[in-house]
Chain A
Amino acid sequence: MSDEVPDELRYLESHEWIRVDDAAGTVGITAFAQDELGDVVFVELPNVGDTVAQEDQFGVIESIKAVSDLYAPVSGTITAINENLFDQPELVNDDPYGDGWMIELELADASELDALLDASAYAEQIA
Chain B
Amino acid sequence: MSYDQARWRRDDAPVYEPLLHEKGERTVRPADRDVPLPDELVRDELTLPGVSEPELARHYTRLSQMTYGVDSGPYPLGSCTMKYNPKHTERIAALPDALVHPDRPDEHRQGVLEIYVRLQEYLARIGGMADVTLQPPAGAAGEFTGIRIAAAYHADNGDDDRDEILVTDTAHGTNFASAALAGYDVVELPSGEDGRVNLEALRAAASPRTAALMLTNPNTLGLFEREIEPIASIVHDVGGLLYYDGANLNALLGRARPGDMGFDLMHYNVHKTFATPHGGGGPGAGPVGVCERLVPYLPAPHVRRDGDVVETYAPPNTIGKVHGYEGNWLVLLKAFAYIERLGDAGLLDTSAMAVLNANYLGTTVDLEIPYEPYHHEFVASAGDRDAAELAKRMLDYGVHPPTTKWPDIVSEALMTEPTESERQATLDQLARAFNAAAADDDETVAAAPHRTSARRIDQVAAARDVRLSWQALTGE
Contacts and interface: CB of A to CB of B under 8 A. Distances in A.
A90 B459 CA distance: 13
Contacts of B31: none
A114 B463 CA distance: 39
Contacts of B464: 39, 41-42, 89-90
A42 B460 CA distance: 11
Contacts of B460: 39, 41, 64
A64 B463 CA distance: 7
B382 to A, nearest CB: 15
Nearest to A62: B463
Contacts of A90: 464
Determine the interface band of chain B, counting residues with CB < 8 A from chain A: under 10
A106 B460 CA distance: 34
A42 B465 CA distance: 10
B409 to A, nearest CB: 15
Contacts of B463: 39, 41-42, 64
Interface string A85-108: 000011000000000000000000
B413 to A, nearest CB: 14
Contacts of A39: 460, 463-464
Interface string B117-158: 000000000000000000000000000000000000000000
A41 B464 CA distance: 5
A41 B461 CA distance: 8
B388 to A, nearest CB: 10
A68 B188 CA distance: 15
Contacts of A41: 460, 463-464
Interface in B442-476: 459-460, 463-464
Contacts of A42: 463-464
Interface string A24-54: 0000000000000001011000000000000
A89 B460 CA distance: 11
A14 to B, nearest CB: 19
Interface string B384-408: 0000000000000000000000000
Contacts of B459: 64
B6 to A, nearest CB: 33
A91 to B, nearest CB: 11
Contacts of A89: 464
A64 B460 CA distance: 7
A90 B460 CA distance: 10
A89 B465 CA distance: 10
Interface string B65-109: 000000000000000000000000000000000000000000000
A89 B463 CA distance: 11
A90 B464 CA distance: 9
Contacts of A64: 459-460, 463
A87 B463 CA distance: 12
A42 B464 CA distance: 7
A65 to B, nearest CB: 9
A27 B202 CA distance: 37
A80 B390 CA distance: 43
A74 B449 CA distance: 47
Nearest to B408: A66
A50 to B, nearest CB: 19
B112 to A, nearest CB: 44
B354 to A, nearest CB: 32
B391 to A, nearest CB: 15
A78 B459 CA distance: 33
A67 B463 CA distance: 13
B26 to A, nearest CB: 39
A39 B464 CA distance: 9
A25 to B, nearest CB: 28
A69 B460 CA distance: 20
A42 B459 CA distance: 13
B1 to A, nearest CB: 29
Q: Which 5 A-B pairs have the closest CB atoms?
A: A41-B463, A39-B460, A41-B464, A64-B459, A64-B460
13 contacts: A39-B460, A39-B463, A39-B464, A41-B460, A41-B463, A41-B464, A42-B463, A42-B464, A64-B459, A64-B460, A64-B463, A89-B464, A90-B464
Given A39-B460, A41-B463, 11 more contacts: A39-B463, A39-B464, A41-B460, A41-B464, A42-B463, A42-B464, A64-B459, A64-B460, A64-B463, A89-B464, A90-B464
